Structure 1
């Protein structure tokens, strides 16, 4: 089970701009992961390399277990293209993968709790999956995938059925 996570971290890094290192612009989560904003073009090149090495899409997934990937189409923190890339890579490697794109949901919809902000203008959709279990979704599945979606809503029951199928 994977929910709205970065899969190609290098594509989420902001472009390097000379002279910005000393500015008071807050670092992105991806920059934080890699030690902060790049201070030189060489440091930026190194960060891109480290981001690629840390990205799930670039890992050896030839023996990966079945995946259920859920992502909201309204996610402004991690674009849905990140989950699409992970799903595509898993399918390319012949692994079982189900991608669920939930209409309009933002980042954090799987989270319980009441934390709704990460900073100015950054809001989470905490608890939304629980509150709106019948929101429309689209699905993509790998060939010969035994996980049956017919009649399911994109909700916690779907997740439970996925785990029941694969874990017993």
Structure 2
């Protein structure tokens, strides 16, 4: 099960900008934080890009990957849904079982319970939305021969439960 995760981290890194010696640089992105902060030189940025590639699931050998259920909201502004689509494609090309579920209009964090609704100015999460709106429209793509039956299911916690029941008997 994978929910709205970055899978091509290098595509989420902002372009390199000269470090401001006055100390009023913009906040770093979560991807930059993962890789040690904002790049301090063009060479450091090149290293960060390579680390991002190395850390990205779509660049890993998927030959032994387990079955995947990937859920992503089409309204996610933090991690674009194309990131999950790239993981699904990578798994299918490796001959693995994958189901990609794109939930109409949902943003980042819809699988999360809890009270945290925002990460900072203009960064809102959809915490708890999957529980509140279980009948939201979704589209799905599946790998050939995938045994996970979606007919009659909503994109909700019951779908997730059925996925795990099927694959973790």
Which TM-score band (shorter chain)? over 0.9
The verdict on how the C-alpha distance between 1:62 and 1:20 changes in structure 2, with shifts beyond 3 A counting, is: farther
CA distance in 1, matches of 2:90, 2:62: 8
3-state SS of the aligned residue for 2:140? strand
- Match in the other structure for 1:4: 4
Instruction: Give CA-to-partner distance per residue, 1:63-101, whole Å, 9 cap, x none.
Output: 000000000000000000000000000000000000000
- Match in the other structure for 1:118: 119
Shift of residue 17, structure 1, vs aligned partner? 1.8
CA distance in 2, matches of 1:33, 1:132: 32
3-state SS of the aligned residue for 2:102? strand
- Match in the other structure for 2:145: 144
Query: How many residues end up aligned between the 2 structures?
Result: 168
- Match in the other structure for 2:37: 36
- Match in the other structure for 2:131: 130
CA distance in 2, matches of 1:140, 1:61: 18
Structure-1-length-normalised TM-score: 0.98
Structure-2-length-normalised TM-score: 0.97
User: Which contiguous aligned blocks of 4+ residues in structure 1 show a shift greater than 3 angstroms?
Assistant: 19-23
**Conserved in 1, the CA contact under 8 Å of 2:19 and 2:25?**
no
CA distance in 2, matches of 1:31, 1:18: 15
CA distance in 2, matches of 1:26, 1:165: 43
3-state SS of the aligned residue for 1:68? strand
Instruction: Give CA-to-partner distance per residue, 1:30-73, whole Å, 9 cap, x none.
Output: 00000000011000000000000000111111000000000000
Please, which runs of 5 or more residues in structure 1 have no aligned partner? none
What is the RMSD of the two structures over their aligned residues, measured on CA atoms? 0.9
Q: Does 1:27 align with 2:28?
A: yes
Instruction: Give CA-to-partner distance per residue, 1:78-136, whole Å, 9 cap, x none.
Output: 00000000000000000000000000000000000110010000000000000000000
The verdict on how the C-alpha distance between 1:89 and 1:150 changes in structure 2, with shifts beyond 3 A counting, is: same
Shift of residue 24, structure 1, vs aligned partner? 2.8
Paired residues for 1:1-80 under 5 Å: 1-20=1-20, 22-80=23-81
3-state SS of the aligned residue for 1:69? strand
Please, which runs of 5 or more residues in structure 2 have no aligned partner? none
